[in-house]
């Protein structure tokens, strides 16, 4: 089988959200206790989220997928 | 005008002794007042100022007992500077600065307590922790909550407070703002008080947090 141009349409990987764990735990605490102002039971989980947002590094730009470059490069060998 | 006590004390010392190590000192005493100060102060270039202030190693005398890196505290409280910026319009900085100063005075008049901690506490109480973003994905609108940074939280809190204070009685902005801030701080923690009725700012925060809670299933998705 001869494929003239070896190329794929790669799926874009979404950037991971920073502090996702702390956010999810705080929202879960709100749902469980109804303490949306984070003054009662959810105070600690809210504080953990604030600390995380203050210290966590910003998510950098994701590099695009290079699969097509490699396929182009190696396709020449495969098609011989 | 808004110099911290530390800065005022530094000014009274002779020039040679003015550059004290303030890494733990001023930063620490101000940081205990609230998390927002320490972060806004780093965003405002506090760390940049400290790195600029460190003298090159060649210029430092070997017998010097001063530390190599000296933190110079900012001239003005960063939160007050930011509040003044939010109040400012058409470049009239002096007018906005006057409003801020008088607001602090009114807070003190109403409570007989130091006004700056009350301002910080009010902003901390109102600041939302999350923001909801809606995205169209596969034909459906997906709403998901994301966490906010310190500066974003402060900005939103100040915006909501300034909007809400117009419903208070008082001839000037400073009176109304002071009444709003005091009401916000007094209401939190009181049993049997409906926060939505105390301030429109609390109501907005509740709405945002409830919406985020409803959509917490999407919290770990992004973009």
Per-residue pLDDT tens over the stretch A17-61: 788 899 999 999 999 998 899 888 999 999 999 999 999 887 777
Residue of B162, B178, B160, B177 lying closest to B89 (CA atoms): B162
**Pairwise CB contact (< 8 Å): A22 & B147:** yes
B43 at interface of A, judged by CB pairs closer than 8 A: no
Catalogue all structural domains in chain B, each as residue range(s) with its CATH number: 2-65 (no CATH), 115-218 (1.10.455.10)
Across chain A, the runs of DSSP E, i.e. the strands, are none
Across chain B, the runs of DSSP E, i.e. the strands, are 130-137, 140-147
Whether residue B69 has pLDDT greater than 80: yes
Per DSSP, the three-state class of B54 is: coil
CA pair distance B33, B29, nearest whole angstrom: 7
Q: Residues of B with CB below 8 A from A17's CB? A: 146-147, 220-222
Whether residue B138 has pLDDT greater than 80: yes
Ordered DSSP codes for B142-186: EEEEEE--HHHHHHHHHHHHHHHGGGS--SSHHHHHHHHHHHHHH
Domain residues of chain A, as ranges?
18-58
Window 147-206 of B: residues touching A by CB (8 A cutoff) are 147-150, 188-189, 195, 205-206
Model pLDDT, residue B56? 53
Q: Write the residue in A18, A23, A31 that is nearest to B145 by C-beta.
A: A23
**Pairwise CB contact (< 8 Å): A37 & B209:** yes
Mutate to test the interface with A, among B125, B219, B220 (most CBs of A within 10 A): B219
**Pairwise CB contact (< 8 Å): B130 & A27:** yes
Token output for B184 = 């916000």
Which residue matches tokens 């300034």?
B162
| Percentage of chain B exceeding pLDDT 70 | 73
Model pLDDT, residue B67? 78
Q: For residue B174, what pLDDT band results from cuts at 50, 70 and 90?
A: very high
Model pLDDT, residue B155? 97
Mean local confidence (pLDDT), B3-29: 41
Mutate to test the interface with B, among A30, A49, A50 (most CBs of B within 10 A): A50
**In degrees rounded to 5, what are phi and psi of residue B133?**
-110, 140
**Pairwise CB contact (< 8 Å): B220 & A24:** yes
Half-sphere exposure of residue B124: CA atoms within 13 angstroms, side-chain side: 19
**Pairwise CB contact (< 8 Å): B35 & A39:** no
pTM, rounded to two decimals: 0.71
Size of interface A-B (CB pairs under 8 A): 66
Hey, what's the torsion of the CAs at B96, B101, B103, B108, to 10 degrees?
180
CA pair distance B205, B209, nearest whole angstrom: 6
Whether residue A73 has pLDDT greater than 70: yes
């Amino acid at each position: 089988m001869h494929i003239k141009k070896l190329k794929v349409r790669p799926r874009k990987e979404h950037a991971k959200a920073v502090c996702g764990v702390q956010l999810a735990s705080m929202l879960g605490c709100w749902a469980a206790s109804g303490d949306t102002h984070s003054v009662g039971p959810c105070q600690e989980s809210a504080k953990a989220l604030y600390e995380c947002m203050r210290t966590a590094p910003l998510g950098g730009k994701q590099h695009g997928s290079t699969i097509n470059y490699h396929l182009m490069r190696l396709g020449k060998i495969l098609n011989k | 005008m808004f110099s911290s006590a530390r800065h005022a004390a530094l000014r009274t010392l002779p020039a040679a002794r003015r550059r004290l190590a303030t890494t733990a000192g001023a930063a620490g005493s101000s940081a205990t007042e609230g998390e927002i100060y320490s972060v806004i102060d780093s965003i405002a270039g506090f760390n940049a100022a400290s790195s600029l202030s460190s003298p090159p190693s060649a210029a430092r005398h070997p017998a010097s007992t001063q530390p190599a890196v000296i933190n110079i505290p900012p001239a003005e409280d960063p939160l007050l500077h930011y509040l003044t910026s939010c109040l400012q319009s058409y470049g009239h900085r002096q007018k906005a600065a006057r409003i801020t100063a008088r607001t602090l005075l009114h807070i003190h008049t109403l409570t007989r307590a130091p006004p700056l901690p009350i301002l910080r506490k009010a902003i901390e109480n109102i600041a939302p922790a999350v923001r909801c973003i809606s995205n169209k994905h596969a034909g459906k609108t997906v709403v998901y909550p994301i966490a906010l940074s310190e500066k974003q939280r402060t900005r939103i809190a100040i915006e909501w407070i300034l909007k809400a204070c117009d419903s208070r009685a008082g001839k000037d902005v400073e009176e109304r703002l002071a009444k709003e801030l005091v009401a916000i701080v007094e209401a939190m923690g009181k049993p049997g008080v409906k926060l939505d009725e105390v301030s429109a700012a609390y109501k907005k925060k509740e709405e945002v947090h409830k919406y985020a809670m409803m959509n917490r299933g999407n919290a770990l998705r992004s973009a």
